[in-house]
Chains A and B, each alone.
Chain A
């Protein structure tokens, strides 16, 4: 049996299972309308088909995966275009631009003296579309320049204030929390999570960790001697950060996997 024949047989089996599932799910619908039950039955079955098609990539690349992948690209592009149109163009541009358009789209008109300025991004947006026309495609650089200029102008002050100044400022914290003398500290020393020792240790780790992390990123001086020791501690702190981020990413992916398995065994097969 050639691989082409095997694939055809597999597709026929999948189509049969799809049809069977559609009929079963349509029959078990809770709506009074037959149309709604048949439609929901189809949609649930189709969602299951897509889920299993994506998972089939774990075996190897195959037509089912390619179908789901291609559909994903098309659906996502359409989704974000519609979302952008309704939320930004209709939600933000139309109410500032025209009373009649606002009435057409049923959004409240906002009268402003400088409403003519709202056409600036529309002009730049249209210029951006010249990218699709090779002869005048270079015009799109004007829109790109506007986008980059806005980003650079806003980020220059935003990052300086919220990331640089506030992060540096927040790193200068008390290194002796609730300090009532060495005797009191030694008498009450414990590894309780909410205790004084852990609070002090945390602040030391934060302060020293930030400084050592910055030392590691300083490449204008050779990392040796005391500077090298600080740099090495910086690497360890960064490794803990990467480990924590990795742990969180794994948790996120696993919870998504659990969600899909719950969908397959709960919503589709009604086992869970």
Chain B
């Protein structure tokens, strides 16, 4: 048998790995078989402008913005063998007309041109059509600064309009839902919002009415856009057609600072971006994490940040004197708290910790309990209806962290009983409102001789406290939390704590130091995480930089996020890219 002398061709090499060779703007790369052309271009770090395409949604191919030039090897004449060049590739025969890259998949020896005369001309043409009926009201449009139409006009538009006819008038300022406003003249009919509501939110209230140049995104008057996932359409909208009633006209986006963080309103821990200016949070938007929240988040969680900026926000330490709270400084408050705790036997003190605390705060809470010898430590479970998408039944963001760090803790019912029996005389309540979350009544708290609490707003627990220590909101602190799937994620500080409030881990640290009288050797939250990493095996080797913006899987819980399960099934079926 003669040995073959033909060297292996690139196509065979690629085929062995399930890949295909694609030439993108002159450079050959290998991409998985079945990859969309637009994704292949992304892999080659070539930008293809697009509006309607979104990897998490189906591709209708209706915006025509992602047109590229495509070429395949010419079919050999009958009887002829394919000819391979010196580099092992066949010559590419370029098609004279462009194709959309979002809905076509790559093939072996395919060529894609994302630049060149043809591509530039068609992009200019598509841009001109998209802008024909656009009102060009960027100066008063909320999307300005984060608008794809604006960006691609600059990059691919012709700069001047040749349109001399009358623009089509469409409805403006349409009250399409309780949280969303619609301007149909700005809409470019990409249909992302329609597909999102249909495919992800399972509430297909949006649709097109009319036809051709009069096509309008709208909904039936009895079925408005009031889904708890509706505001994701605002982020999806590439133009200023769908805008948030909450955020519109509040601030220009280019003035806002973006901080990557996580949502703390349920166990899922949706990844978020917090948009701030100065010391104010202006909006919270979801951030992509394919292992947590895909690219979405529920409206209720998105708007929850307002609670931390209300009039009831407490920003000063307070001591109750003759039944009235008086503002004081931190030293006085902490000393008073330490002195008060020393008045009681360790067995007479109970700590109500919270699965809303970060791992670092929980660890220091445990350290505080150990310092004083306190054994009665409880957390408040917080459960609700799961919504089958992103909202978990566990409304505490860090239940897994609390279980890891504090161990199994009893519920507050035991503390309630011990208060009534007189076993417990002093309470330290951290980040919890026992009235709202644990069903305490004033009668339940009446036997307590001394209550110290830490929180951010003036709730009933704060009113009942003898000493109140103001903590930081989710946007004002750093820390880590473990979500329902066991993923360790990172909270980042977007703004400084309001007024005299302090980060919660510092409050607990200072309370420990005031009690022991030791010198501080813990200046940074990194020190706390380091101590967790040395003390708790699961955290071995963990640092904030290792957690990163996407988090890391820490423990196995077997819990799945329903929205991701659905999305992965769609991606496996090839309906979406994923």
Chain B binds chain A: no
Using a CB–CB distance below 8 Å, which chain A residues touch chain B? none
